[in-house]
Structure 1
Amino acid sequence: MKKKWLFILLFVVSIVLAACSGGESSSAPKENGGSGSDISGKTFTYATTTDAVGLSPIMTNDSPSANVIEQVYETLFQRNSETLEIEPKLAESYENPDENTWIFKLKEGVQFHDGTPFNAEAVKYTFDKLRDPATGAPRASLLESVEEITVEDEYTVKITTKYPYGAFLAALSHTNSAIVSPSADQKQDLMKEPVGTGPFKFVSWTPGDQLELEANEEYWNGAPDLKKVVFKVVPEVSTAISMLQTGEVQFIDNLPTEQINRLESMDNIDIQKIDGSPVYYFAFNHLKEMNQDPEFREAVASAIDRDAFVSKLNGLGVRSDSVVGPKVFGYDKSAENAGTPYDLDHAKELVEKNGYGDQPLKLLTANRANTTLMAEIVQAQLVEAGFKVEIESMEWATYLDSARAGEYDLTFLSWSNVTGDGSELFYPNFHSDNVGSSNRAQYSNAAFDDLVMQSRTTVDQEERAKLLDQANKLMLEENAVVVMYHGVVTSALDNTYTGLNLDSTGKWTLKNVTGK
């Protein structure tokens, strides 16, 4: 009996010692950063200086919102970040039996987060709502070409277009073409409670503070390794970088130029830089009478020294005159120097000749680091040429509303070119159809409109490229905008993680992020 109790005592002691030792069994979870680390209980935090405006792909048109939407929703097609080709995603395959007919076979067995089946009815519901004028969707232009949507069977949808539309698949890869749950849309506000088919599900959102997602364990393409993702609003980018350094944050993007040296000196992060498709430009409000004066626009364009600004970007911007960038279909190298060159003396002459300095001008800007820097530099240059310019800075959502409503004289606008197609750059941003909505520059030119519509209504890609180049150069000849730079897409990721998919469009996905 004594031997039995002695055996039991020794067994218990051995368990206690093992538990107290620094040893780690093969099944024990490892700390973040270890080889093959278990991240199932970890929170992956992305810091953003700007909160989302909303969470519905139908009702939004801004990058902070799209960053969330990309994790929760999915599109029929996606752009391959390496080949830049458009490939099926929720679509299984497609046919194009004639120039105006598209037949899409959909993936089977996919469900929305609320259990609603993904099928042809869901596609029709989403696209009909997106293109319905009563909806007021900011990117309704994506489906402007659509004449009719027909459900052929549960997993087959036919779309008939009004005319041959060369950029149709690219349009269907856009974030704002993501498919929503019809049942969820009918019973709740998707701007506040999104329901998609993506790898992450919505949990909660405290506007101005943080938004939480969780892994979709039933995701059709395999559950993500990250189990909890937080989008944390950190208005001061320097604070976000400090949080990245201390491990409170695991990921930031759109790295500010003034902080790049600090970021590159940090041992615990990996920095990624990719020549991108985003374009950043100085815009005139073309509804204002003074901005309709060609010599006024020429004077402004002549006064802006873009090289002086790009030199401040520490390699995070590419100098170009072309509205269509090198990563976008329709780009032609001949447009690189087609804009009005910097000529301060000429600008001063035009200002003095026409009295342009007599009227104060409002330069509207969003309160983001690079945009603020751009505004301050350009304001000083315009003042030097004789203009009177005052900067008005706004937080992101308010700025978008003011720009869309045309409540400014001059401003800075940008476009991520998510589709990578020049027609889908020009039509929403500068075609007269979209004045008052996505055409925030309020630009209207019949010759330009015609070139853009021709580029949209042919499937001959060589012809499309020529038409887009002509439209591009027409804008530059008119000084319709002044291109400041083309973006370099950037990210900084805690180096205990890998697998971030960063695209040249600025889009990114967390599906394949995992611990090392």
Structure 2
Amino acid sequence: MKKVWVLFVALIAAVVLAACGGESSSAPSQTNEGGTTEAGGGEIEEFVYASTSDVAGLSPILTNDSVSANVQEHVYETLFERDTDTGELIPSLAESYENPDELTWIFKIREDVVFHDGTPLNAESVKYTFDKLRDPTTAAPRASLLEPVDEITVEDEFTVKITTKYPYGPFLASLAHSNAAIVSPTADQAQDLMSNPVGSGPFKFVSYTPGDQVVLEAFEDYRDGAPDIKKLVFKVVPEISTAISMLQTGEVDFIDNLPSEQIARIESIQNVDIEKKDGTSVFYLAFNQSRPENQDENFRKAVAAAVDRDAFVGKLNGLGLRSDSVLGPMVFGYNESKNAAGQAYDPELAKQLVEENGYGDRTISLLTANRDNFVLMAEIAQAQLTEAGFNVKIETMEWATFLDTARAGQFDITFLSWANLTQDGSEMFYPNLHTDNIGSSNRAQYSNAEFDELVDASRTSVDQEERLNYLDQANGLLLEQNDVVVMYHGVVTGAMNSEYTNLILEPNGKWTLKDVTRK
């Protein structure tokens, strides 16, 4: 039996949570520009993050969006996480694992972890969480993370065995995904974790006021030591310009996803530090393929030919990478040859196809979330599609409503995004575009037997070269048929009050504040 003790385990996947340490010391308390009282030294009495959208919910099992995950990743933990510097998996709640054969995984769980409600975190907690996540009656949006699992068995108090239905290369990467975070069984059976979460992370839940804010506080019994931030507020500020003003005055300490049109303004603020790095996220135009009219290849070709993606990326002021490929350069499965494999911008071809097929005779519903770059994409695409002869109406919705509406297939075309948390092409294609996930994470309602076979092969093969080939073929199929029109690949950004340090900003757009301290 081969036994592997996890210190650093190299897998192809995305960056989840990681952080570097920050020292703290005692000092008299003082007040910053925005009036926030701090304990001095490394301690911060209150730290405020501003988001333009409210959370969809606070349970990692029942949600699948970045806004909710930003909160959840400070409350919950996963079996593995990513090392910031090396990109390799390191243990979090798992202490070690064995892989005696290609279908069997045995995990040793740390013995020093407790949930915020005092319940010990053990093998039963892991089994409970994973069984609920993969139970069809739960209807978990990211149940696909555990789709390969056949059986979960508790061997002893801190040992759990997982048997898979087939060899699964990205398995450990899936267990590092934020939606595979471990929840307190006691709390889950007693309350609604969507509004009252209980995890084992560095911060514990205090309150949630829908449409206003989520408040967390430092978990003083956290095994690695309590964070210096004593009160962490996730504040909903619908207008990004307002959030930037609040950052400047000190009412807000941190914002992310900086809008391209506001970069110059933010860079001019003296008390703010900006960080940028190439990201794993992809933003794309998707067709609702449950509607017969969208199954017309010429219709999709006309739309793709009408949209000038280069012009759009030029408006991002360096915060977007142009490529037709659905898989970006930092994602396993990327092939440089796919950078220009999609339909090129050709307004004359678009006009010709619209006229020949009468595509302008019906109104097209373009659904978008009320987030800055989504709205910008929608407005530019609407103008370009209108120029080609289409009749396009934009429907803008708040984030959570947008997610529900898209999942229900109540749109013609829409803009979607994927953070690629696992940094593996299989975990981009399977949840978003595989037939298995129509009605949950496959918001495009896309179903293609050939594509499904390629994705399945990429998931079951343990030969990495084979996997690359399958993913490249699947990527090419999407682009050849214009099933996905890639707008851009993201650049991760964050702006924090320069009084603080040790923010960890990851390529997948996630960040952690547990080690933030005062300079």
- Superposed pair shares fold, TM > 0.5: yes
Using the size of structure 1 for normalisation, the TM-score is 0.93
| Alpha carbons of structure 1 residues 159 and 82: separation in structure 2 relative to 1, 3 Å | same
Counterpart residue number, 2:264:
261
Is the 1:32–1:515 contact (alpha carbons within 8 Å) kept by the matching residues of 2? no
How far the C-alpha of 1:312 sits from its partner, in A, is: 0.6
How far the C-alpha of 1:36 sits from its partner, in A, is: 11
Q: Describe the superposition over 1:224-249 as per-residue Cα deviations: whole angstroms up to 9, x where unpaired.
A: 11111001100011000000000000
Q: Describe the superposition over 1:359-380 as per-residue Cα deviations: whole angstroms up to 9, x where unpaired.
A: 1111011111111111010001
**Structure 2 CA distance for aligned equivalents of residues 127 and 106 of structure 1:** 14
**Structure 2 CA distance for aligned equivalents of residues 285 and 361 of structure 1:** 11
**Structure 2 CA distance for aligned equivalents of residues 431 and 106 of structure 1:** 33
Unaligned runs of 5+ in 1: 1-25
For 1:324, give the aligned amino acid: L
Say which SS state the counterpart of residue 424 (structure 2) adopts. Answer: coil
Counterpart residue number, 2:473:
470
How far the C-alpha of 1:99 sits from its partner, in A, is: 0.9
How far the C-alpha of 1:87 sits from its partner, in A, is: 2.3
Specify which of 156, 161, 164 is matched with residue 161 of structure 1: 164
Counterpart residue number, 2:21:
none
For 1:311, give the aligned amino acid: G
Counterpart residue number, 1:49:
52
Q: How does 1:93-492 map to 2 (within 5 A)?
A: 93-492=96-495
Is the 1:171–1:177 contact (alpha carbons within 8 Å) kept by the matching residues of 2? yes
Q: Describe the superposition over 1:435-492 as per-residue Cα deviations: whole angstroms up to 9, x where unpaired.
A: 1110000111001000000011012222111111111111111101100000001100
- The reply to whether residue 29 of structure 1 matches residue 32 of structure 2 is no
**Structure 2 CA distance for aligned equivalents of residues 345 and 151 of structure 1:** 63
How far the C-alpha of 1:39 sits from its partner, in A, is: 5.2
Count of aligned residue pairs for this structure pair: 492
Say which SS state the counterpart of residue 313 (structure 1) adopts. Answer: coil
Deviates more, 1:313-322 or 1:29-38: 29-38
For 1:298, give the aligned amino acid: K
How far the C-alpha of 1:82 sits from its partner, in A, is: 2.8
Is the 1:364–1:391 contact (alpha carbons within 8 Å) kept by the matching residues of 2? yes
**Structure 1 CA distance for aligned equivalents of residues 514 and 494 of structure 2:** 16
**Structure 2 CA distance for aligned equivalents of residues 83 and 435 of structure 1:** 35
Is the 2:43–2:517 contact (alpha carbons within 8 Å) kept by the matching residues of 1? no
**Structure 1 CA distance for aligned equivalents of residues 364 and 223 of structure 2:** 53
Is the 2:38–2:46 contact (alpha carbons within 8 Å) kept by the matching residues of 1? no
How far the C-alpha of 1:86 sits from its partner, in A, is: 2.3
Is the 1:40–1:227 contact (alpha carbons within 8 Å) kept by the matching residues of 2? yes
Is the 1:454–1:464 contact (alpha carbons within 8 Å) kept by the matching residues of 2? yes
**Structure 2 CA distance for aligned equivalents of residues 301 and 46 of structure 1:** 37
Q: Describe the superposition over 1:75-100 as per-residue Cα deviations: whole angstroms up to 9, x where unpaired.
A: 00112233222222111111111111
Counterpart residue number, 2:5:
none
Provide the aligned C-alpha RMSD in A: 1.6
**Structure 1 CA distance for aligned equivalents of residues 442 and 80 of structure 2:** 25
- The reply to whether residue 71 of structure 1 matches residue 83 of structure 2 is no
Using the size of structure 2 for normalisation, the TM-score is 0.93
Say which SS state the counterpart of residue 136 (structure 2) adopts. Answer: coil
